[in-house]
Amino acid sequence: MTTADVAPAEAPASSVAVWSAMWIVYVVWGSTYLAIAVAIESMPPLIALGTRFLAAVSVLAVFLAVRRGPRALVVRWRELRGAMVVGALLLGVGMGVLTLAERYVPSGVAALIVAIMPLWVVILRAVTGDRPPLVTWLGVAIGMVGLVVLVAPGAHGSGADSAQRTIWSLAMLVSTACWAYGSFLQPRITVPRDPLVLSLYEMLTGGVILTVVGLLRGEHLQDMTQATARSWWGWAYLVVVGSLVAYTAFVWVVGHAPLSLVATYAYVNPVVAVLLGWWILGEPLTLGLLVGGAIVVVGVMLVVSAERLARRRSDLLVEEQLLTDTSQAEH
C-alpha cells in the first residue's frame, strides 16, 4: 500500500462512483492483512511479498507502456532516486517487517498497530517545526495508550508463541515509523509526478529489496513451488486485487472526493482486518484486542478529524486574505 499527493480533479463524479471506490479501498486494503497471513502459511515470507510487488510492477508497466507509450516510464534520475527512497521505507522496511511479524501476530492486531501511522506523522511534523493543535496531540496520546494495551504480553493470546507475538508487535513500531517517515518525506522530495509511475518505481524498489533480503536470510525461490493452493490464492489476491485494483481505486478517489473522506480508510481498514481475521482464520477476539483496538481507532479518528478541521480553518483564512487583497486592489 503507497500514498500519493494527487490534486483533486475538477470534473464532478457521482456519489455512487465515489462510494464504490471508497468501499474498494475500505475492504480490499483491510483484507490484504488476511491475504498476507494466508500467503505466508506455506511461502517464504519476504520472497512471497517481494515477488508479489514485482509481478504487479510487470502488469502496471505493460499497461502504462501500451496506454501512454514507453516514454511514460522514463523519469529523471532525481525522480527515480526519490521514488526508490520512499519505496525502500514504505515497502522494503514497512511491508517487510509487517510480513515477518504476521508469522506470530494475528492479522487483525497487525492492522491495528499499522493504524497508528498517522500518529507518527504528527510527531514528525512537530519535530520539524510544525505545531499541531491540542486535539491532535490528545488523539496521539489516546492512540499510544491503545498501542500499549495491544502490545502488552498476553494481550492477544497466550501460549508458546506469546513472547514472539509481543516482540514482533513491538518490531512493527519500526515498520509503522518507516511507513510514516516515507509518507512524510514523499511530498518534500523530488519524485515522479504521475502517481501510477511513482507507484511503479516504489513497488519495483520494494520488490527487489524484499526478494534480495529474503534470499540473504535463507529463503529459497524454489520453495514457492511447494506452496499450497490456498497460499497461491492469497498471493494472487495481493498482486491483482491488492496492488492493482485497490491502488487504482485509491488514486481515482483522491482526485474525485474530499481528502477528509479518503482519510477515513485509516480507521476503517483495521476494523475490516479484525473481522476478516476472526471470520476466516479464526483469530480470537480477546479483551486486549477489543479494548486496545477500540482505543487506537478512537485516537486515529481524533487525529484525522482535528487535522481536517485545522485544514478547513487554514483554507478559510487564505480565502479571506485573498478577498481582502482583491478588495484593496479594486479601491
pTM for the whole structure: 0.80
Task: Please determine, for residue 329, whether its predicted confidence score (pLDDT) is greater than 80.
Answer: no
More confident residue, 329 or 15: 15
Question: What single-letter DSSP state applies at residue 94?
Answer: I
pLDDT averaged over every residue in the chain? 81
Q: How many Cα atoms sit within 13 Å of 324 on the Cβ side?
A: 6
Region 308-328 average pLDDT: 53
Pick the most confident of 55-59, 167-171, 195-199, 244-248: 55-59
Length of the chain: 331
* 307 band by pLDDT with thresholds 50, 70 and 90: low
Q: Which has the closest alpha carbon to 283: 157, 136, 103, 151?
A: 157
Q: How many CB atoms lie within 10 A of CB 319?
A: 10
Q: Alpha helices, DSSP H only, in the chain? A: 15-39, 45-68, 77-87, 96-101, 107-114, 117-127, 134-151, 162-185, 195-216, 229-237, 247-254, 259-262, 265-280, 287-330
Question: Which grid coordinates are listed for 39?
Answer: 500467503
Q: Distance between CA atoms of 69 and 303, rounded to whole angstroms? A: 42
Spatial contact of 101 and 49, defined as CB atoms under 8 Å apart: no
Q: Distance between CA atoms of 192 and 79, rounded to whole angstroms? A: 5
Task: Please determine, for residue 118, whether its predicted confidence score (pLDDT) is greater than 80.
Answer: no
Which tens digits make up the pLDDT trace of 149-170? Answer: 877 766 555 544 677 888 888 8
Q: 90: which residues sit within 8 A by CB, 6+ positions away? A: 1, 2, 3, 178, 179, 182, 183, 202, 206
Question: What single-letter DSSP state applies at residue 257?
Answer: S
Task: Please determine, for residue 259, whether its predicted confidence score (pLDDT) is greater than 80.
Answer: no
Spatial contact of 79 and 190, defined as CB atoms under 8 Å apart: yes
Q: Distance between CA atoms of 197 and 2, rounded to whole angstroms? A: 12
